[in-house]
A and B are shown apart, each in its own frame.
Chain A
Amino acid sequence: MKIERWEPGRNQNSPPGCEFCGLPVYGFSAAEQPSYCCYGCRFAASIAAAGGEEGQNRWAMTRLGLAVFFAMNVMVFTMLLWSQPATPNDSLSRIWYDLARYACLLFTLPVVLLLGGPLAEDAASELRRWRPSLSLLLVVGVAAALVYSTFSLLAGSGHVYFEVAVTILVAVTLGRWLEATGKLKTTEALRGLQRLLPDQVRKLRNGVEELLPIDELRAGDIFRVLPGERIAADGRIELHEAALDEQAVTGESWPVVKRPGDRVLSGTLVLDGPLIIEATESAGQGTLAQMVDALIHATATRARYQRLCEQISNFFLPVVAVVALVTLAIHAWFGNPAGGLLAALAVLVIACPCALGLATPMALWAAIGRAAQAGVLVRDGDALALLARATTICFDKTGTLTTGAAEVVEFATATEIDRQDVLQIAHALAKSSTHPLAIAVSRYAGCELSEEPLPAHNLRSLAGRGVVGRIAGLDCPAYLGSRSWLLEQGLTWPSDAFAYFADSEMAETMVGWDGLIRGQFLFREELRPGVAGVVGELRATGLQTLMLTGDRRPRAASLAADLELVVKAELLPEAKLDEIKRVKRDGPVAMVGDGINDAPALAAADVGIALGSGTDISRHSAGVCLLGNDLSRLPWLIDLSRQTVSAIRWNLVWAFAYNIAGVGLAAAGWLHPVFAAVAMGASSLLVVTNSLRLAGFPDSKPLEHPKDRAPIAVATSRREGRSSQSTVASLAAEESLAAGSVQ
């Protein structure tokens, strides 16, 4: 499968929308012909399509440039005409001014030919669908100004308004050009993602390398990637190791070293050393493709503000047309048809709803694109808007604030037994399990013991309890698991247990055999690096921070105290939802979770922010994904969302105020169409630049090198944390899938 070209307007599930911006298009539309909501989108689409062929774009630019040149000439002659009353009225100067009038006509014609054509074409194509359009109104207005002026000129009396026609044409086209450029710039980040996949892949077949088109790569194929190339499909490293630049996908600016067995993402860049990779997905279905899909979806969904604008623009055009006609009629009634024509024209020009239509999507596209560059996938615009208004941010504990990996902090044995023996038995049992605590035990034992774990057989894992099995050298089963389970199994405490075993609030695992509990492991959860700083920053932005966990109260409390979070512990999944609903009463709630276990909570919150599932975007129900698993993006994202909403508000306030005030002034005849046209261009420019600011939103403060970060609880290297965490995440995924809790 080929990754679909990014066409934001295309959304199969919605009524036919504008091919470029996705706004709904009303009226008949021929299925095979693309439809656009306005001239601006048609223009933008034509420039975007001409990206490859410079020719068309260049011609559009040249046309605009030449029109500006001729318009400047018209303006100079018009200014001369305007100063006519100040000069003596002799016959020679009258000849000169007549010449200036003809010069105006002469220089107006090329502008009409250059810019009027496309505008008329747009109006005509809309008319063929039985749909009136603003272009049509403008064409009519410009034509009226031209015809009136030409008659005045030929009759030798009356004013000429060539400059009006010319300025309107130039300003409308210039405004559209600005919009088109802005639209292209805001969607640049998204289109950039599609270019990350290479065209060809070095597939290995029986050890022979073949250069094939990327479509021919299937899951299970082995392929080679050379340094400097991008990986074509998600996969697992078979051979060699290399530093990878995952920035394009996860936003992580520091290169990540990956070794055989590690997962690699499509679209990431191999920096050094070749890699042999086994594809786990075919080329069209990896992370990158899902990301592009999600973004296409995000830009096609309509945000709240956008729907508001659509409702308004539904009756905008008829209202404007009526206002313009009434203006013309009233002025004509009072004996000033020429003034009425000008006023009506000014109404049409100033009422161009483009700023209104652009206000929301421009800002959202820019912000969504910017977020994607930073490894934050925003699935719909509303999520961003709600995030900006959020008053509370809830965190899941395990896998979100913590890496999900545990660490043995204490290992105690009863005295009469050799410590080494207990550890060996525990190691033998633990290595068979993928439970996070068991992983921690085998990691700990692996460091403490020099020899290989003892052979074990008849191993059984009991969910929520522990592992039981027979170990070579023991004639009875050995148990590794929870205190209560071991007691249930008939094991008893050694006589002086209290002297050795702590009665701690920390997570614990017991090991025992032959009727006695012989060892105790105590664990602590490993906090994600930098998490305390992130929580502090979020609090500083005025958000309430809350931790929701199913874990035991004391354990959660000690962690929450470290992070200065309010904690709600011992929550069953349903209770988590109730808690979120309760907090929702105070305002929008954002929930940060690992995206798989927390799917219901993420869905219940106003904005779900998913983490820890960078490779499986499609599965979870969150509105926002942190692909880089990096919580430090959160304050940045909140900041971006607030800036976005403020940009949208300003855009809308401006667009509304400008339209309403402008139409009023124009209808009264106080606004010359030339200034209306200039104001319209300025309005588009304002909205576009205001939105483009978001595309250049500065990055959060540079991430330190992972090694320089001081993990709060335990200093383990980040890599270990990551790999074990991914194991835990995949385990959790399997569990929750089995339980049917997802979707």
Chain B
Amino acid sequence: MIELPLIFVAGILGTAHCLGMCGPFALLIGGVSRTWSGMLGRQLAYTTGRLFTYGVLGAAAGFCGARLAALVPTFINIPAALAISAGLFLTYQGLKAAGWLPASVGLQWRLQPAAGSCLASGFLGQFLRQPGASGVFLAGLFTGLLPCGLLYGMLALATSTHSVPLGAATMTVFGLGTAPAMILAGLSGRLVGLATRRRLFAAAAWCLILTGLVSVARGVSYMSISGQQPAGCPMCQK
């Protein structure tokens, strides 16, 4: 998969976005622990939880893609269509993030209220305040479910892999990309400055656009190759 490195880079750069949205969480994670290693442990547990959720989501997306490919008659080239639509979606997200589309002007992404804050924040907070690593791990697990545009873009890409392991791999690599900066931010206890974050976010936007375009190109190249063999599911086969 040519995208995997790109996805990783998109993850790294996308961290700017993550810090804007989930930065407070990152700070909370280290809050309880006094020692440096304790803090690192908590950060790693949190990241592992988040990665795990991303992986599961990616697997589910890959499964959905496979099912879709199996359900739709073979004369429609589903892998190609998925790859192209995922690519277009990513490009759209990238253009929005870059501020080239009116839907999201400038830094609006930063001002988005944390969605699901009503019930979810209490839920996450409960876990984050716990001293042990399991609480933080679970907090990471549920953070992965928070709605996020970047995540949806990547999930679309995972769907286009139409394979459970590859979908999981896509999302995990993306998650790995977001990990270093989040951990560093949590450890250093301060967020990246606004100007830096803005620049990073612009770079992330470009990365998204690039990933999207590659995906579209891949889809177009699939058009010439024959469709995949259908996948089955016990739910529909009694």
Contacts and interface: CB of A to CB of B under 8 A. Distances in A.
Interface of B: 49, 52-53, 55-56, 59-60, 63, 66, 70, 118-119, 122-123, 126-127, 130, 134-135, 137-138, 141-142, 163-165, 168, 229-235, 237-238
Chain B interface, DSSP helix/strand/loop, else mixed: helix
Given A65-B142, A69-B52, A72-B53, A82 B135 contact: no
Nearest to A86: B231
Contacts of A68: 138, 141-142
B126 A83 contact: no
Contacts of A73: 56
A594 B4 CA distance: 74
Contacts of A449: none
B168 A76 contact: yes
A66 B138 contact: yes
Contacts of B163: 83
A94 interface: no
Given A85-B231, A85-B232, A339 B138 contact: no
A84 interface: yes
A61 B164 contact: no
Interface string A626-658: 000000000000000000000000000000000
Given A85-B232, A86-B230, A181-B119, A72 B56 contact: yes
A82 B63 contact: yes
Interface string A331-350: 00000100100000000000
A62 B232 contact: no
A66 B134 contact: yes
Interface in A49-98: 57-58, 61-62, 65-66, 68-69, 72-73, 75-76, 79-86
A58 B63 contact: no
A178 interface: yes
A336 B232 CA distance: 20
A61 B126 contact: yes
A84 B138 contact: no
B231 A65 contact: no
- The listed residue with most A CB atoms (<10 A of its CB), out of B53, B59, B60, B66, is B59
Contacts of A66: 134, 138
A85 B237 contact: yes
A79 B127 contact: no
Given A68-B142, A72-B141, A85-B232, 16 more contacts: A58-B130, A61-B138, A62-B127, A62-B130, A62-B138, A65-B127, A65-B138, A69-B49, A69-B138, A75-B60, A76-B59, A76-B164, A79-B63, A79-B164, A83-B66, A86-B231
14 contacts: A58-B130, A61-B123, A62-B134, A62-B138, A65-B127, A66-B134, A75-B59, A76-B56, A76-B164, A80-B165, A83-B63, A85-B233, A86-B66, A181-B119
A82 B233 contact: yes
A672 interface: yes
Interface in A424-461: none
Contacts of A582: none
A78 B34 CA distance: 41
B134 A79 contact: no
Contacts of A57: 126
Contacts of B122: 181
B52 A72 contact: yes
Interface in A78-134: 79-86
Given A62-B134, A65-B142, A81 B234 contact: yes
A339 B137 CA distance: 37
A66 B130 CA distance: 14
A336 B238 CA distance: 9
Contacts of B137: 69
